[in-house]
Amino acid sequence: MTDRERIQAAFSHLHASPEDLTEVMKMTRENRTRMKLATRRIVTTGLAAVMLLGAGIAGYAIGNSFHNRQQEQLRAKYHVEENPTNDFTEFSLPEEASDGRGMTLLSSFHTGDDLKVYVDVSPVEPEEVENCFRFDSQLSDEGWRFLSYDFDIDGVHPIYGTAQIYSPDSEYAVERERVEETEEDVRQRYLREAYDAETKTLTLLCHLFTEDLPEDGSIELHVYSSDNFVPNSETYECISEIHHDFGTVSVPITSPEVKTLLFSEPKALKDETGTMQAEITGIELSSGSISWLANIQDAESIFGRFEGDDTELAAYQQTKIEWIYFLRDATADAELIFADGHTVACGGINGEHDAENGSVHLVRNLPDNVNIHDVKAISIFGETYCFDEADGK
């Protein structure tokens, strides 16, 4: 029996209720619509109205020169000229000088694992940006007060995430240990790279995970700054209020270009003691990331969302870390092989998706995006596999 025949046999047992047709005939006779769905539409309309209110802010005029400069930097960051990819999108700027208050969509890049959306927001006072990097001065006996740039999507509150202040060199929160710069250096660099004092415009990066995005179409991205206050560092309860609402922009969602490889025989991995065992069933490569598809017994308990109590948290984290180290080391030697023969290291993992049905996606973000059309094969587990075929050679 083929896969198709087996699925058809199983699903053929599903039947609509005869009452569906009876109900429809009744409604068409009475020329009425279905109340339940009509109510749903009212709620959707209500949400749209709220979003419009958020976007309806007037202000003063600015030009596009700062937006242009930032778009240029982003093109350079993603090597768009030498490494063209459909996963990078640069959006048209308003042709005429727009009001300065609000938000301007600059560019987006789909790594395969996540969508990075770059926006300019205005007005932002210089002291607000500076305060984002003055950690110590925000602490007092009363607690910790700080400003953050937050965003949500599709009108669903509370926040989806906190936007990062853009820097071409670093897209992570300021990790002072990682850079040989003083705190003041870092602050000045971010002000230089992400802020325009003349127009009071700040460039932000909003990180959206692919698994949270709709299948196609667009999302409504709403960005605002928040005043946050943490009165007690032990409980870390945070009281937040919207400080300034920059409005909403519609961000088109494009699916990333992906190259895939499904192993004809899953690659079995085992740690030295044999307590950790996994099977790598396939690989997905996109221009900004590589994903290892792994089957692991009880994957949900290791890589699923933690639902235990505080007493179990440490054990959960320890187990997860051990697994990540094991899988990171097992995949560490992987290299992409390009058509011209050069190679790029792509081993290890630095993130994972929630496990489902015993399967988990382990992700490695590539340091520089690659042109996947030029990638011919991958070297892993001591063998070379072409992306168009699943057997080693």
| Interaction of residue 10 with another protein, rule CB under 8 A | yes
Please pick, from the candidates 8, 233, 297, 317, the single residue that binds another protein as defined by CB under 8 A. Answer: 8
| Interaction of residue 157 with another protein, rule CB under 8 A | no
Give the count of beta carbons closer than 10 Å to the beta carbon of residue 286: 24
| Nearer Cβ to another protein (19/241) | 19
Q: Is 184 helix (H, G, I), strand (E, B) or coil?
A: helix
| Interaction of residue 125 with another protein, rule CB under 8 A | no
CA within 13 Å, CB half, 220: 16
Closest distance to another protein from the beta carbon of 108 (Å): 16
Q: How many residues does the chain have?
A: 393
| Interaction of residue 45 with another protein, rule CB under 8 A | no
What residues contact 340, with CB distance under 8 A and at least 6 apart? 374
Closest distance to another protein from the beta carbon of 351 (Å): 17
Closest distance to another protein from the beta carbon of 214 (Å): 8
Which range touches another protein (CB under 8 A), out of 33-41, 231-239, 311-319, 337-345? 33-41
Helical segments of 56-111, H only: 65-77
| Nearer Cβ to another protein (81/216) | 216
| Interaction of residue 273 with another protein, rule CB under 8 A | no
Closest distance to another protein from the beta carbon of 370 (Å): 17
Radius of gyration of the chain (CA): 25
| Interaction of residue 250 with another protein, rule CB under 8 A | no
| Interaction of residue 266 with another protein, rule CB under 8 A | yes
Reference 360, options 287, 279, 251; nearest CA is 279
SS3 content of the chain, % helix, strand, coil (to 5): 30, 35, 35
| Nearer Cβ to another protein (69/373) | 373
Closest distance to another protein from the beta carbon of 24 (Å): 4
Give the count of beta carbons closer than 10 Å to the beta carbon of residue 278: 24
Please pick, from the candidates 177, 216, 309, 340, the single residue that binds another protein as defined by CB under 8 A. Answer: 216
CA within 13 Å, CB half, 37: 3
Q: Considering CB under 8 A, how many residues would be counted as binding another protein?
A: 46
Please pick, from the candidates 117, 215, 332, 381, the single residue that binds another protein as defined by CB under 8 A. Answer: 215
Closest distance to another protein from the beta carbon of 81 (Å): 24
Region 283-322 residues binding another protein, contact defined as CB under 8 A: 284, 293, 295
Closest distance to another protein from the beta carbon of 67 (Å): 29
Q: The tokens of 162 are what?
A: 């906190």
| Interaction of residue 218 with another protein, rule CB under 8 A | no
Which range touches another protein (CB under 8 A), out of 41-49, 75-83, 164-172, 230-238? 41-49
| Interaction of residue 175 with another protein, rule CB under 8 A | no
Reference 202, options 169, 228, 167; nearest CA is 167
- Return d(Cα 347, Cα 364) in angstroms, integer: 7
> Peptide bond before 94: cis, by omega within 30 degrees of 0?
no
Contact predicate 156/213, CB 8 Å:
no
Helical segments of 31-172, H only: 35-55, 65-77, 126-131
Reference 124, options 69, 185, 62; nearest CA is 62
| Interaction of residue 258 with another protein, rule CB under 8 A | yes
What residues contact 107, with CB distance under 8 A and at least 6 apart? 71, 74, 75, 88, 89, 90, 91, 118
Per-residue contact track with another protein, 13 to 32, x per CB under 8 A?
xxxxx-xxx-xx--xx----
| Interaction of residue 241 with another protein, rule CB under 8 A | no
Per-residue contact track with another protein, 332 to 361, x per CB under 8 A?
------------------------xx-x--
- Return d(Cα 89, Cα 117) in angstroms, integer: 9
Positions touching another protein (CB under 8 A) are: 2-4, 6-11, 13-17, 19-21, 23-24, 27-28, 33-34, 36-37, 40-41, 43-44, 211, 215-216, 255, 257-258, 260, 262, 266, 281-282, 284, 293, 295, 356-357, 359
